[in-house]
Amino acid sequence: MQEELDQIAFLASEEGFRAIRDSSTNLTAFLDGSAPGDLAANLARRSRTAIVDCINSHRRHDGWQVKGAEESLGTSGVRWIVNPLCGTVDSARLMPYHAVSVAAEVEGETVAAHIVQMSGATLVDRIACGPAGLMPQFWEGWVIPAEWEPARAVLGFALPDDAECRRDALHLLADIAPHVGAVRCFGSAAYDLANVVQGGLDGFVGFGQRPWDVAAGLAVVRAAGGTARWLRGESGLEVVIAGTAAMVDAVSCWASTSQ
């Protein structure tokens, strides 16, 4: 079954990417008369339909946790966790950072994950993993750096959609930010987590993230030798930290000062 899930994850993420690419070929015409949010919603809907149709054509009894769709438990023991367009605001504003994220989970463990990083309608990179680690056909030799130097570190972070939760997240971030070289919010958790593996970021902190935002990304970080930890802030806000073990330990300590 593993080989099948790997192949379907690849095919589904590819179909999602193609749906976005084909819909975005002529962005000027596509935007005519539409608000930016309408563009993003349309792209996400087309990607979601393409991904769901692809997986259903192979495994129609599996469960679902797909952004923008009603959750389904399924009967097979396999659950797909999908964000058809991670970074919808970036996409709506024609900014470069967004991704298609597809993960397959069996008994609570992510066994296949594919992330397609995009800039507009262009494929930037692809990264994938299975139980044996990163898939070499989608991996160019990146690896999470073994060293952790806080003063030079650049951390990516992602904020929740809810305004009140965002306030809580920024309070926690304020405890973390003085300890590192820089913090960056690019708008796509999946893209950021792939960047941790690729070396663009030294770690990632996600506030109030949903499973479809981070499932595939956390899987590739772990496959590359990194780790991840979930915390809960004083307000109840969930925080996920991913990177090297030393980085996760340090950021967990800094974030805990306000808990």
Greater model confidence, 124 or 206? 206
* pTM of the predicted model as reported, rounded to 2 decimal places: 0.92
202, 148 in Cβ contact below 8 A? yes
> In terms of domains, do 20 and 117 share one?
yes
CATH number at residue 51: 3.30.540.10
- Domain around 8: 2-138
> Dihedrals φ, ψ of 109, to 5°?
-110, 130
Burial (Cβ within 10 Å: 0-12, 13-18, ≥19) of residue 161: exposed
Q: Which two tokens stand for residue 35?
A: 């608000």
Q: Which two tokens stand for residue 239?
A: 């925080």
Query: Residue 42 has what pLDDT?
Result: 85
> In terms of domains, do 155 and 247 share one?
yes
What whole-number distance in Å separates Cα of residue 259 and Cα of residue 99? 32
> In terms of domains, do 54 and 133 share one?
yes
pLDDT tens, 162-173?
888 999 999 999
Mean pLDDT for the stretch of residues 139-146: 70
Residue pointed to by tokens 């469960």: 63
> Dihedrals φ, ψ of 228, to 5°?
-145, 150
> In terms of domains, do 114 and 226 share one?
no
Using the 8-state DSSP alphabet, how is residue 50 labeled? H
Question: pLDDT-derived band of residue 30, with 50, 70 and 90 as boundaries?
Answer: very low
Mean pLDDT for the stretch of residues 130-143: 79
> In terms of domains, do 122 and 187 share one?
no
> In terms of domains, do 133 and 187 share one?
no
> In terms of domains, do 85 and 200 share one?
no
Domain annotation covers residue 144 = no
> In terms of domains, do 72 and 29 share one?
yes
Closest to 102 measured CA to CA, from 165, 58, 36: 58
pLDDT tens, 71-115?
999 999 999 999 999 998 887 677 789 999 999 999 989 999 999
Question: What DSSP assignment string belongs to 99-121?
Answer: EEEEEEEETTEEEEEEEEEEETT
CA angle 114, 194, 253 (to 5 degrees): 125
Q: How many whole angstroms from its chain centre is CA 222? A: 13
Query: Residue 259 has what pLDDT?
Result: 43
103, 216 in Cβ contact below 8 A? yes
pLDDT tens, 149-158?
999 999 999 9
H/E run at residue 154: strand 154-158
> In terms of domains, do 18 and 128 share one?
yes
Mean pLDDT for the stretch of residues 8-18: 97
What whole-number distance in Å separates Cα of residue 159 and Cα of residue 168? 10
Domain annotation covers residue 69 = yes
CATH number at residue 247: 3.40.190.80
Number of domains observed in the structure of the chain:
2
> In terms of domains, do 7 and 133 share one?
yes
Residue type for position 76: S
> In terms of domains, do 120 and 191 share one?
no
